[in-house]
Amino acid sequence: MFAPLEGNISTVAPAGLLLLGLITGLRHSMEADHIAAVSTIMATSERHKKLRRAPLLGALWGLGHTASLFAAGLVVLLLAVSIPQRVSNTLEFGVGVMLVFLGATTLTGFNMGKFVRGIFSRHTHEHPHVHEDIGVVHSHEHDHHDHKHGHKSLTVGMIHGMAGSGALMILVLSTISSVPLGLAYIAIFGVGSIASMAAMSTLIGLPFARASHYGLGLALRYIAAVITLAIGAGLIYELGIVKQVFL
């Protein structure tokens, strides 16, 4: 859908270059590994908050992605260096490992944050509840854990951003000699990524939200987990075995 637009944009003028960055950012978030990662985050969020939090989680992914690209781009543009393909492939291998971890934890329900808090301390809150009809006041102690998904989405986006920085920086270096224009390109690329992933997350959240009403939430969660595992394992195999990035 975006390829014909990208091919017809002239990058001679700064406006055309920035427009290309926006369209590329919109397309970039729709890659399979990005959608798979966000799907696992959506699958493990609280049932009644899936759809309401979907745009925020997607936007946080885009924000983390942009932050990594901006940091890498600043180094590349200021120091006039390029990111070796080997480094880019190694970071992409890390994305494969992350996807396998996300798929496995989504499939098993294992929560690393709860596990760590359980070892060191529990982050709990007590909320008083009043039963006026019988005059009883008591407290419920429970964990506040849903906020973690925002941190998780941001972190996943940052890891994706680091892995995808190589190809983006090659494009930037080959067409841009101005540091401000280069950073503006990355920024508008980020705007496209944030907007696109917020929209994609909302679309992803719709079936999850609807499935919970029909008792299909668990099945959909397992499907998202298995697909994410497969994509992650595919990346690990391609980069680690076929391309042998560590040899």
DSSP conformation class of 241: I
* DSSP-derived secondary structure letter, 114: H
Reduced to 3 states, what is the DSSP secondary structure of residue 128? strand
**To the nearest whole number, what is the mean pLDDT of the chain?**
81
Beta carbons of 153 and 64 less than 8 angstroms apart: yes
Percent share of the chain, pLDDT over 70? 74
Give the CB-side neighbour count of residue 25, counting CA atoms within 13 A. Answer: 30
Q: Please give the average per-residue pLDDT across 48-67, as a whole number.
A: 86
- Of 6-20, 28-42, 83-97, 163-177, the range with the lowest mean pLDDT is 163-177
Instruction: Please tell me the predicted confidence (pLDDT) of residue 197.
Output: 94
Mean of pLDDT values over 66-71: 91
Query: If pLDDT is split at 50, 70 and 90, which confidence band does 154 have?
Result: very high
Q: Which of 21-30, 49-58, 117-126, 229-238 has maximum average pLDDT? A: 229-238
pLDDT tens for each residue of 170-209: 667 667 888 888 889 889 999 999 999 999 999 988 888 8
Residue 168 has pLDDT above 80, yes or no: no
Residue 129 has pLDDT above 60, yes or no: no
Encoded tokens for 129: 């509840």
Residues 191, 200: Cα–Cα separation, whole Å: 14
- Cβ–Cβ < 8 Å for 144, 125: yes
Q: Is the pLDDT of residue 236 over 50?
A: yes
- Tokens read off for 189: 């690329």
pLDDT-based confidence at 28, cuts 50/70/90?
A: confident
DSSP assigned state of 238: I
Q: For the whole model, what pTM was predicted?
A: 0.81
Residue 235 pLDDT exceeds 80: yes
